Amino acid sequence: MTGYDGGPVAALRRIAFLLERAREDTYKVKAFRGAAATILPMGDDELARAVEERTLTDLPGVGASSAKVIASAVRGELPERLAALEAEHAGPLTDGGAEVRAALRGDLHSHSDWSDGGSPIEEMAMTAIELGHDYLVLTDHSPRLKVARGLSAERLARQLDVVAAVNDHLAGDFTLLRGIEVDILDDGSLDQTEEMLDRLDVRVASVHSKLAMDAAPMTRRMIGAVRDRHTNVLGHCTGRLVTGGRGTRGQSQFDARAVFEACAENEVAVEINSRPERRDPPSDLLALARDAGCLFAIDSDAHAPGQLDFQVLGCERAEEAGIDPDRIVNTWPRERLLEWARSSRG
Ligand SMILES: [Zn+2]
Ligand SMILES: [Zn+2]
């Protein structure tokens, strides 16, 4: 039996991280994260007694497979499930992108369980710290995206209090930044109040509805959003889905040159969305945005902590496209990033 001294909470969190990173069934992942949350406040003696008396599964949210992991870890043995996942899933997600990834200081696009993410805000922040980030922008959805439980102005205001509380409890240099993934409405306006948009650090604007609109109105819609003084990042611009459980979807039609020129002019970063099923923008459009002089943001668009690690996939694409790291806004130190997000909008 291989020894393990990480303790049961770390074992359960690592299992969840590896499953999420491998895009496995979120239901299983939730079970491990739930079990970790249950045992977190328990003392070592109390936990050891529960292992001894085989009463772990009496605890709320602790099922048979989590109990097995906990029992092994408490005995100082490497849990079998963890060993198997480390062997199968811990390797690099891709061969390229390492250099750009090393230059990244943060991530501008992530979701918590306040909208359609699978984990609480603090769990996203903890994992971002573990991945070496200096900052993470929390960008839950806006009200119109009801399927994703988009946040009303009131819920967003409450979320900002939680973000402040999370930052108060974190030691060190990491900061959780206030953000939104705001829907671009049909007329190019943004789906949140001016007042709330003004209170945020970074705003990602994305199209999530009527993706099949004709090219001319879609171009007007996107340029309208890019010119909005609040917009900092244009999220997953074509909306395509290339693989995965949600099926595939073609790209939205629009005048990409005109949209990217508007981005360059307004210092709006074009997002390189790292999600494996998105890979957005496609390579030809990425080259077009590069030649238009755009800034870029390489984002995970994580809906679970383990998915924060997707970023290297976007880094590989930026590297292939020959994009200078200084044009990638999340290679910038936090102060420069915040200054850009504030003042580029005039
Ligand atoms: Zn989105
Ligand atoms: Zn998103």
Question: What is the 181 CA–ligand 2 centroid distance (Å)?
Answer: 6
Asked if residue 320 has pLDDT above 80, the reply is yes
CATH topology of domain 98-343: TIM Barrel (3.20.20)
Q: What pLDDT digit, counting tens, does each position of 93-144 carry?
A: 999 999 999 999 999 999 999 999 999 999 999 999 999 999 999 999 999 9
> Looking at the chain, which residues constitute the CATH 3.20.20.140 domain(s)?
98-343
Question: What is the 9 CA–ligand 2 centroid distance (Å)?
Answer: 28
Question: What is the 96 CA–ligand 2 centroid distance (Å)?
Answer: 24
Based on its alpha-carbon atoms, the radius of gyration of the chain, rounded to whole angstroms, reads 21
Task: Give dist(CA 155, CA 303) in Å, integer.
Answer: 19
- Mean pLDDT across the stretch 212-235? 98
Helix 64-74 to helix 80-89 angle (10° resolution) is: 100
Asked if residue 1 has pLDDT above 80, the reply is no
- Phi, psi (degrees; rounded to nearest 5) at 314: -70, -35
Question: What is the 310 CA–ligand 2 centroid distance (Å)?
Answer: 13
Question: What is the 192 CA–ligand 2 centroid distance (Å)?
Answer: 16
With CA atoms as reference, report the closest residue to 36 among 70, 79, 72, 82: 70
- Mean pLDDT across the stretch 241-247? 82
CA 68 vs CA 8, 166, 202, 218, 223: distances in Å:
10, 31, 42, 53, 54
With CA atoms as reference, report the closest residue to 138 among 240, 146, 127, 130: 127
For 98-127, b/e burial (b = at least 16 CB within 10 A) is eebbebbbbbbbbbbbbbebbbbbbbbbbb
pTM: 0.94
> Looking at the chain, which residues constitute the CATH 1.10.150 domain(s)?
8-89
Confidence label for 243 from pLDDT (cuts 50, 70 and 90): confident
Question: What is the 301 CA–ligand 2 centroid distance (Å)?
Answer: 5
- Mean pLDDT across the stretch 88-93? 91
Question: What is the 76 CA–ligand 1 centroid distance (Å)?
Answer: 42
Mean pLDDT score of the chain:
95
Asked if residue 5 has pLDDT above 90, the reply is yes
Question: What is the 290 CA–ligand 2 centroid distance (Å)?
Answer: 22
Element (H, E) at 295: strand 295-299
pLDDT at 344: 55
pLDDT at 346: 47
Question: What is the 207 CA–ligand 1 centroid distance (Å)?
Answer: 7
Task: Give dist(CA 239, CA 196) in Å, integer.
Answer: 25
- Mean pLDDT across the stretch 213-218? 98
Q: Under a CB-based contact definition with an 8 Å cutoff, are residues 176 and 140 in contact?
A: no
Phi-psi map region of 212: left, alpha, beta (phi>0 left; psi -120 to 50 alpha): alpha
CA terminus-to-terminus distance, the chain: 62
Asked if residue 65 has pLDDT above 80, the reply is yes
Q: What pLDDT digit, counting tens, does each position of 133-185 carry?
A: 999 999 999 999 999 999 999 999 999 999 999 999 987 899 999 999 999 99
Question: What is the 17 CA–ligand 2 centroid distance (Å)?
Answer: 19
Asked if residue 302 has pLDDT above 60, the reply is yes
- Mean pLDDT across the stretch 206-222? 97
In the chain, % of residues over pLDDT 70: 99
Question: What is the 204 CA–ligand 1 centroid distance (Å)?
Answer: 9
CATH topology of domain 8-89: DNA polymerase; domain 1 (1.10.150)
In the chain, % of residues over pLDDT 90: 92
Confidence label for 26 from pLDDT (cuts 50, 70 and 90): confident
Q: Under a CB-based contact definition with an 8 Å cutoff, are residues 300 and 307 in contact?
A: yes
Confidence label for 227 from pLDDT (cuts 50, 70 and 90): very high
- Mean pLDDT across the stretch 200-220? 98
Q: What pLDDT digit, counting tens, does each position of 271-291 carry?
A: 999 999 999 999 999 999 999
With CA atoms as reference, report the closest residue to 278 among 235, 319, 231: 235
